[in-house]
Structure 1
Amino acid sequence: MTSPPRFFDGVKRADLIAAALLFGIGAALLALGSYERFGFSVPHAVRFVPLVLVCTGVVLRRARPGVTLALGVIGFGMEAVIGFSLAVVFVFTDNLYAYARYGSRRGLAVMIRVVVVAVIGVGVYVAVADGRAAAILSSAAIAALVLASPVFSALIVRQAHDRANLEAERAEQATRLADVRRREAVLRERTIMARELHDTVANYLSAIALQSTALQSRKDLDEATVRTSVAAIRSSSVEGLAELRRIIGLLRAADNGTGEGEDLASYRIDQVPELVGRIRAVGLKVDFDIEGAQRELPAEVELTAYRLVQEALTNALKYGSDAAVVIEYGPERLGVRVVNALNPEAEPVPGGGAGLVGMTERVRLLGGKVHAGLDSTHKDGDRWKVSAEIPTGGIG
């Protein structure tokens, strides 16, 4: 439970010292008789009351600016009745400045109007009482110096302070935005790394796992078949290790500022037959066909198509049997279809389920679309179908 704020909370030590010094100087001037005497006399001790009021306002200038203004007006009003003293008038200007600087904005708007009216009123009063132009101008100038000058000075300082705070807030926001962008860049690089590891290395590891599982489950294999399978396992291991080294090299190049983070030219559609051949070597029957006039496409399109085929064939290794791959070149798009039979007796290799998400993300980043699901229209029964339409930007 927080205690309620006390009246003197927020009082600055500097304001307290300034008030003490001003009171000491003012008291010395009053003791020396430095004040005006109007038509009637008051006890000398009464002369110190306005000084105490305005100096108390100095103590509260930042903690309670409204109270400071009230004390200053009361003290200055008493001076107007019993006779002005230089000390009280001087400290009263600080009371006006303090409220204009630290008071509410609504109160400041009212204060400016009152001050302007007061200065004009002084001029009108002198014009009626004296009538001389010199007296009018000098009286109005003194009133403006005492009443208007501290208010408008504080207004200028306040606006400058507000601008400085605004610039500081903008700088802080810019720093925060830069930090957010940096974190987004780090997250993007981590996403690329995870996607590359999944799309590439998982393909080889899945093949190794399936081949080794087959060797463990089959006891009737002859020596030649075992050697072929072991050779295939070794080939997948070596190629997977090479891919892992390539990815690490790309990440290091990006960290050193010497690379672009992802080598888009590393994989292209003309390397899909090699991928299909590697999958066939594992034991999966794969048909491959290209429709339309083959042509060179943007690197990111070719990489995405390659990764899509790679992920779909990896899933076919895990969950299905024979597969068919079709790449179709259209005028403004590239179509990719991978269909595989479902093998209910297969023992799938555990995975993280990120493959389909990664494929969809890659294609959507290029403005394309992906569909993956059961294809019940096939003449040989239900099959799993992955299809994508990738815009090519009208190239060709």
Structure 2
Amino acid sequence: MSEAPGGRVAQLKHTGLRSGWTTGACATAATTAAYTALLTGRFPDPVTITLPKGQTPAFALAREELETPPEGRRAMAAVVKDAGDDPDVTHGALVRATVRALPAGTGVVFRAGPGVGTVTRPGLPLAVGEPAINPVPRQMMRDHVERVAALHGGSGDVEITVSVDHGEEIARSTWNPRLGILGGLSILGTTGIVVPYSCSAWIDSIRRGVDVARAAGRRHVAACTGSTSERTVVAEYRLPEDALLDMGDFAGAVLKYLRRHPVERLTVCGGFAKLSKLAAGHLDLHSARSQVDKGFLAELARRGGADDTLVREVAEANTGLAALQSCAAAGVLLGDLVAVAARDEALAVLRGAPVVVDVICIDRAGTVVGRSAPAG
């Protein structure tokens, strides 16, 4: 990744897509501007920050206020989040930081303003009751407060209240409520940069979901490809919400994290076609990165007793569903065969971790069309 003049991150050379900034980078920029104004009376605009890997982007301020209320002088600066070409739900959100001076020796105190959530369950990298401002953004803000204090004669003892306009509404379309982060969004980011379509936020949510389930003492979790498979698993096992992992297409992310942080039992539930990809050895189930292998399905059908005519029909089927229907008409349990192969692939990725796995395949209506026995 290269950096264009003025601190703007250039297009990613391998995709032509424009990268963007995390909420953590935006909050750091807003904090830097607000604390500078608190000490000097002037807001730097644009304001430049240094990211963890050394990039120095500049952010234009969208709002600025300097007040002297009865409880003490404070400054607020706001930055519009630009996620680049990534389909990020927080793209365009207004991230605000309000900075207030505290007595010497207090250090940096973080508060959740409107639109930023509060942690209510154990298992996250923040204590219960803390604002949902992740560790790396907190460190970035502390570092920049220290630099501004050194430049302008401040003590560096401040209260930082981070807010996101409409954040509580935006958070409803994220994992936050399920993870026990209530009242708004999380302030995220480890590098400060959003890489388009990297899906790092989704994968991070999977990991945090496992952490929350483990902290809650859940012995059985389910990784689901979507809402229909979630409903199927809940009907099958009556699992609580914090035991459900929104796997989406990221089977590998679930399995590799559970390999390091095991739970007693994992159920993988999803559409037949998607799970046939896992059965064939694919860990990313997105249609742009893996395809249903009809030849593989044909070989499974042969192992399940299909004759040559049916094997050829499966190999030439237009879709995985068509292959499944052909086998069902002939009494060949292709759904079960795919579920068993997917379970065995999952166990191979887990590499002996103490996790018992079973797999459920469903059709688009949520009807179970295949399942494996648990094994570990």
TM-score (norm 2): 0.20
Q: Which structure dedicates a bigger proportion of its chain to helix?
A: 1
TM-score, length-scaled by structure 1: 0.19
Greater CA radius of gyration, 1 or 2? 1
